[in-house]
Amino acid sequence: MDTTINIGNKTVNRLGFGAMRITGEGIWGEPEDCDEAVAVLKHAVELGVNFIDTADAYGPEISEKLIREALYPYEGLVIATKGGMVRSGPNQWSADGRPDHIREAVEASLKRLGVDSIDLYQFHRPDPAVPFEESLQTFFDLQKEGKVQHVGVSNVTAEQLQQALKMGTVVSVQNNYSILSRDSEDVLKICEANNVVFIPYFPMGGNIGGLQAETLESIATRYGATTRQIGLAWLLQHSPVMLPIPGTSQLAHLEENMRSIEIKLDAADVALLDGLA
């Protein structure tokens, strides 16, 4: 199994870090302990993470600001962020795919992150009020202008991904996906066929108790691992284009997640886990 993966012209380790949970409750406001959030980001890099995923809507703005505080000037790191969502309160999300909004969002993210060009800029979610192609074209325009190095999409259907691939070079897709949530399997297959990196968010089911199944628990016991670690190990072995980004605000969970890359599931266990969905 390869331990690295290419996102466009950038090579990263295959276990990244999702920086959504370093914000406050409901992904709103500052975290309870900003110092620990900064420590988690720094320790992730110490443990080998060199791909950090965030979005302007996380906080909003808080996640990007903490990433700059902890990791700037990002030597050896790939920082991915997203635009196209707005917030009105804790756990409240709305899509905004208007080209003017996306342009305002990218300028704000560039400033918060302290960079002239974003490594990977992702369309956070298609807006039903704006034609998908109109929104996405703005991302490609920003790329031509040098403000974005690579373009990715998120929360897309197979049809939308196919359309995006016709419009320009899409290097990544970020959809909800885990061992027990595989609605995006068709999207994953398109990514494999086109050498597009697939970034599963909620790679462990969305919460600590998300990956619960009798088979999963029995396999975890045999490997001396947690169900979370087995879920991440399965993702890495399930597809060569997979780049999981488990996120946490706690150092202990971070270290637990990172140990999953050391787990090599045998073929029989992979087959059992494949059958859980």
Q: Phi and psi (nearest 5°) for 34?
A: -65, -35
- Provide the residue range defining the domain that includes 181: 4-210+234-264
Residue 25 domain flag:
yes
Mean pLDDT, rounded, for 220-239: 94
% of the chain at pLDDT higher than 90: 88
What was the pLDDT predicted at 24?
97
Identify whether the C-beta of residue 257 lies closer than 8 Å to the C-beta of residue 248: yes
Q: Of the listed 58, 121, 177, 201, which one is catalytic?
A: 58
31 inside domain: yes
220 in a structural domain? no
Predicted confidence (pLDDT) at residue 14 exceeds the cutoff of 70: yes
Reply yes or no on whether 58 is catalytic. Answer: yes
Structure token pair of residue 254: 């971070």
Q: Are 260 and 1 in contact (CB under 8 A)?
A: no
For residue 21, pLDDT beyond 90: yes
**pLDDT, tens digit, 9 for 90 and up, residues 178-226:** 988 899 999 999 999 999 999 999 987 654 445 556 788 899 999 999 9
- The pTM assigned to this predicted structure is 0.96
| Count of domains observed in the chain | 1
Q: Confirm whether 224 is domain-assigned.
A: no
Residue 269 inside a domain? The answer is: no
CA-based R_g, the chain, Å: 18
Q: Which helix (H) or strand (E) holds 109?
A: helix 99-113
Any domain includes 259: yes
Q: Is residue 240 part of a domain?
A: yes
Q: Report yes or no on 86 lying in a domain.
A: yes
Please provide residue 49's backbone torsions phi and psi, each rounded to the nearest 5 degrees: -70, 130
Could you say which DSSP state residue 178 is in?
A: B
What residues contact 9, with CB distance under 8 A and at least 6 apart? none
Residue 148, domain CATH: 3.20.20.100
